Structure 1
Amino acid sequence: MDLELSSATLLALLLGSVRAAAWLIVCPPFQSRVIPGPLKALLAVALALPMVPKLTPEVPAAQVAPILVSAAEQAVVGVALGFITALFFAAVQAAGDLIDLFGGFALAFGFDPLAQTSTSVFGRFYNLIAVTLLFATEGHQMVLRGFLESYDTLPLTGTLSLSQLSELLTTGLDDMFVSALQMAGPLIAVLFLTDVALGLLNRVAPALNAFSLGFPAKIFLTLSIAGTAIAVLPRTLAGIVETAVKAVVSISGGG
């Protein structure tokens, strides 16, 4: 049995796979080096394959210049959609970094072989917990569904709205910092009160040199009550996933 595919079908699959591949390279949690490159390529084709019937009528002319321009446009669209999602998920890493900063762990940076960068202790710890919760609660399916909606709301012949993109980037930064403070705020407040108490103790009894106990005390408190910040992580992560999906759908032209 011979399977015949038209050039328009193959071109639609190619352009759809380019958008999906660019999105997978940037969007968490699929951008991790844990997922090999060949597997990401196959996943990109798998994501674009069900969209081929919708994309086939939108393909450009079968010429080199239009195909290259369209492929470049799909790569830009995929990167933009992935970056918007990654911006919201950066709140989890930011919450861990805030805890490291106020808890005395900021000096203990370690090399992350997956991200190929230096990262803080709690920052990486929170990131791993968030990825685990995302797959455990099937939140990754919502992220994938939000991206697949872009094929309907933003066809191959469509372009991103730069004004809406800039607005989402601005509001995304605000939401990222607010979410980070929601997760790390209780622990930061306790550590701040610890600094105040040590300062008062140093004023009352300077001979005790209370600030010499600052680092051990703050590290002990951080390790003791770090579960307070982790307890709010599932609820905050659910809100981040919902906000990220809505942002991706809205920037691609959906309601």
Structure 2
Amino acid sequence: MFSVTYAQLNGWLTAFLWPFVRILALMATAPVLGNRSLPLRVKIGLSAFITIIVAPTLGAMPQVTVFSAQGVWIIVNQFLIGIALGLTMQIVFQAVAATGDFVGLGMGLGFATFFDPQASSTSQVLASYMNTIAMLVFLVIDGHLQMIGALLATFQSVPVAANILGAPGWRTLANFGGMIFSAGLLLSLPVVAALLITNLALGILNRAAPQIGVFQIGFPLTMLMGMLLLQLMIPNMIPFFSRLFAVGIDEMGRVAMGFR
């Protein structure tokens, strides 16, 4: 008769549950995979499928009962690690969205907002447009697979344990958040500079010939100029996005190492 001891059951459960929590936390917070349009069942099923494949390669788990105080603390640790890694990649996409915000303000489209179900708030149209392009590029270059690979690599650098979550990891994540402004401004700088020159020219024209009615032609002109420049920039955005995603994936490893 087939029988299973409590120790065997606990070993099987810990070998699956703790890695599953880390993977699921990433799936819930990472860009594209964590999108709210993706059903929760798909996220849980994909996380479970990856865990079943990866769990036998992770080695021995801590000899701790799953639902003991230390076992629950290990679950919390894995959950926070997965969230931190997911937020690292979210910062990259927020830098892209910041580009749309900067360009939209220069074009006079700061008022053009709609409800974004992903962020549960309103966002500018151009920010959503840039974010959509970034997600398409992310999928085309297999960024989602690279992100999952970076997550699985953290099981070697930061094995499952209860004595992790060091402060350097959170500090690294907080410092990386500054890239939202630096990368967003760098990408939007050509369009913002061109729109600034356009507005200066309109101001000079208004002083030279007030009867032209700059307020009637200013908004259509800046919007047309901005859309034309964005159209010209799209071929050059793809390599820039690829570098941003590579930086984000590398940063996931550094954040994970800071938790040791």
| TM score, norm. by length of structure 2 | 0.88
Counterparts of 1:232 and 1:161, CA distance in 2: 39
Counterparts of 2:30 and 2:173, CA distance in 1: 16
Describe the superposition over 1:109-145 as per-residue Cα deviations: whole angstroms up to 9, x where unpaired.
1123454321211111111111111111212211111
**Does 2:69 match 1:65?**
yes
The DSSP-based 3-state class of the residue aligned with 1:110 is strand
**Does 2:155 match 1:128?**
no
Which of 207, 213, 218 does residue 209 from structure 1 map onto? Answer: 213
Identity value in percent: 25
Is this contact kept in 2: 1:111–1:118, CA < 8 A? yes
1:16 match: 19
- 5 Å-filtered alignment, 1:22-101, equals 22-55=25-58, 57-62=60-65, 63-101=67-105
- 5 Å-filtered alignment, 1:107-122, equals 107-122=111-126
Q: Which runs of 5+ in 1 are unaligned?
A: none
Counterparts of 1:167 and 1:7, CA distance in 2: 35
| TM score, norm. by length of structure 1 | 0.90
Deviation at 1:20, TM superposition (A): 1.0
**Does 2:171 match 1:166?**
yes
Q: 1:64 to 1:167 in 2, by over 3 A?
A: closer
Counterparts of 1:90 and 1:216, CA distance in 2: 28
Counterparts of 2:212 and 2:72, CA distance in 1: 71
Q: 1:70 to 1:26 in 2, by over 3 A?
A: same
Q: Which amino acid aligns with 1:75?
A: F
Q: Tell me which moved more, 45-54 or 115-124.
A: 45-54
The DSSP-based 3-state class of the residue aligned with 2:115 is strand
Deviation at 1:235, TM superposition (A): 1.0
Counterparts of 2:70 and 2:128, CA distance in 1: 43
- 5 Å-filtered alignment, 1:93-242, equals 93-157=97-161, 158-170=163-175, 172-242=176-246
Is this contact kept in 2: 1:24–1:30, CA < 8 A? yes
What CA RMSD, in Å, does the superposition of the two structures yield over aligned residues?
2.1
Alignment length, in residue pairs? 252
The DSSP-based 3-state class of the residue aligned with 1:35 is coil
Counterparts of 2:170 and 2:69, CA distance in 1: 27
